[in-house]
Structure 1
């Protein structure tokens, strides 16, 4: 019989078909139906949950699913999953580190270039007939200092693109230095921001990194510095960022993620030195298949009594 799997995130028809072909009965609970699905009559039968880092699965949800054995996060993030509640029940938690790293790194470099070169504003000016107004002097990227906050798989991919493609000196901050990179490790986020021309946030989300990029870090980055965030909106203090941008204490920001998304503060949308994309850095046809494939491999391994491939440590 198919194994009941509750999906608390939206699934494309192809993704649902792949899960069903792999032997799972998919119960969709996205778009406001999550509470009903978790608390409904079929909840006792659910043995697996598919979620992602930002949607997560809380302790109350876990408690309402007595048959739950495994929670799979689609992608690397898992900050919204209550790991303590899962471990207390012996529930396995997996994620997908590195499955969309190339796509996210490409998007990060696109955002970096777009905000530095003023692409969005220039495009708007040309479209309204203001050709000369669009021809402003904008900073180069080549040779500028690239700071990476969080040198995991994605951070390293961004660093390679900056160093190899644009000749950018690279430094990074993480809890421990990463052996064999050849890049400069700095002891704090503020020290990295003070060094960098571009600060790219690529660290995991969650309580440990909440508002890691705060007023002090933004001040260290300075009025000629640019911030790029392809990580989680919670890593950046949004109020401090808005104030720095409004007051000219930061040159610009390019954000794929925002605190409280999809609700974006009006102050951000009104700023001309901000580029915004809707949490789409990892979304591309080429990148879509690998994360779900890893989820299916983890599910198959678990229900075959084997060790999962990518457990959350």
Structure 2
């Protein structure tokens, strides 16, 4: 079966893919162009896409009888794929849950600590050569230990963040989730407004129409002036304009972001703020994690080719 891999993947994954499929691998690291999206449906049996490969409804509409039968997404998030339109066109869609959980939770903790303790700002100060030495009231930040963390979304990643915060830093955990759930550790499920009132707020919900701008101006208004917001979910879960307004008005103390509303575009207003930690979507950026994601995507592809049930079909 002909397989298109839309972005360069780790060598181990590519070798495994070539051993099983007739592989065409793009060398370009940018998302598929509109024409490439349509050609992928016309010319290949299987596609392994990833973040930014925008399989929207018009793409499927333009290829009414696609050759492709599976989009095996590389990543747990799939809001770049219109799943309903894919199904209507006869394509199954899978993703790679589980493989990304701990790495993404680690990045959440990285952003919490970097933002609360002003680490990025401090590094810039040292690199600029302007640091004049230690003094007792220099760059005072938020002491994380023992504070309250509000986690928005208590799925696999939310639970992993909660464990790190509670058992690692003695934080009180409150969370907001669309359904009642037991996170398996001391934590209280609360309304969104109460979770937003924590000292540290972490966004860990899936992307998609249901969560777009979930964190809007009203939600941000519930935050405390000393609090920080961390987003490791999808960029458009947060209304970026409302966040910039809250930061510029000092209505919240800071933000740590690994994702953005219009990636890779990061507004100048965000880049200009010293109170914001900005990472280039590093959530799963560790070799063993990306290998695990790739092998999970290949498991889905192989199962499809062999006529077996898809291990990670998107319901």
TM-score (norm 1): 0.92
Q: 1:61 offset after TM fit, Å?
A: 2.9
What is the correspondence of 1:105-254 to structure 2 with a 5 Å cutoff?
A: 105-127=105-127, 128-132=129-133, 135-179=138-182, 181=184, 182-187=186-191, 189-194=192-197, 196-254=198-256
Q: SS where residue 147 of structure 1 aligns?
A: strand
User: Structure 1 residues 226-235 or 124-133, which shifts more?
Assistant: 124-133
Please tell me whether the aligned partners of residues 255 and 277 of structure 1 are also in contact (alpha carbons under 8 angstroms): yes
Q: 1:240 offset after TM fit, Å?
A: 0.6
Aligned alpha-carbon RMSD (Å): 2.0
Q: 1:138 offset after TM fit, Å?
A: 1.7
Please tell me whether the aligned partners of residues 223 and 249 of structure 1 are also in contact (alpha carbons under 8 angstroms): yes
User: Structure 1 residues 159-168 or 81-90, which shifts more?
Assistant: 81-90
What does the per-residue CA deviation read over 1:260-280, in whole Å, with 9 as the maximum and x for residues that have no partner? 111110000000100000011
User: Structure 1 29/312 Cα, relative in aligned 2: closer, same or farther at 3 Å?
Assistant: farther
Q: Which of residues 261, 264, 276 is equivalent to 2:263?
A: 261
- In structure 2, the partner of 1:49 is 47
Q: Does 1:83 align with 2:87?
A: no
Please tell me whether the aligned partners of residues 152 and 158 of structure 2 are also in contact (alpha carbons under 8 angstroms): yes
Please tell me whether the aligned partners of residues 37 and 53 of structure 2 are also in contact (alpha carbons under 8 angstroms): no
Q: 1:286 offset after TM fit, Å?
A: 2.3
Q: 1:12 offset after TM fit, Å?
A: 4.4
Q: 1:176 offset after TM fit, Å?
A: 0.7
- In structure 2, the partner of 1:58 is 56
User: Structure 1 18/256 Cα, relative in aligned 2: closer, same or farther at 3 Å?
Assistant: same
User: Structure 1 33/165 Cα, relative in aligned 2: closer, same or farther at 3 Å?
Assistant: closer
Q: How many residues align?
A: 308
User: Structure 1 residues 197-206 or 119-128, which shifts more?
Assistant: 119-128
Q: 1:215 offset after TM fit, Å?
A: 0.9
User: Structure 1 7/60 Cα, relative in aligned 2: closer, same or farther at 3 Å?
Assistant: farther
Q: 1:87 offset after TM fit, Å?
A: 1.6
Please tell me whether the aligned partners of residues 19 and 26 of structure 1 are also in contact (alpha carbons under 8 angstroms): no
Higher relative contact order (CA 8 A, sep 6+): 2
What does the per-residue CA deviation read over 1:184-211, in whole Å, with 9 as the maximum and x for residues that have no partner? 1112x222102x1100011011111011
Q: 1:47 offset after TM fit, Å?
A: 1.0
- The CA distance in 1 between the partners of 2:68 and 2:160, in whole Å, is 35
Q: SS where residue 161 of structure 1 aligns?
A: helix
- The CA distance in 2 between the partners of 1:294 and 1:33, in whole Å, is 22
- In structure 2, the partner of 1:302 is 304
TM-score (norm 2): 0.91
- In structure 2, the partner of 1:289 is 291
Please tell me whether the aligned partners of residues 111 and 256 of structure 2 are also in contact (alpha carbons under 8 angstroms): yes
Q: SS where residue 67 of structure 2 aligns?
A: coil
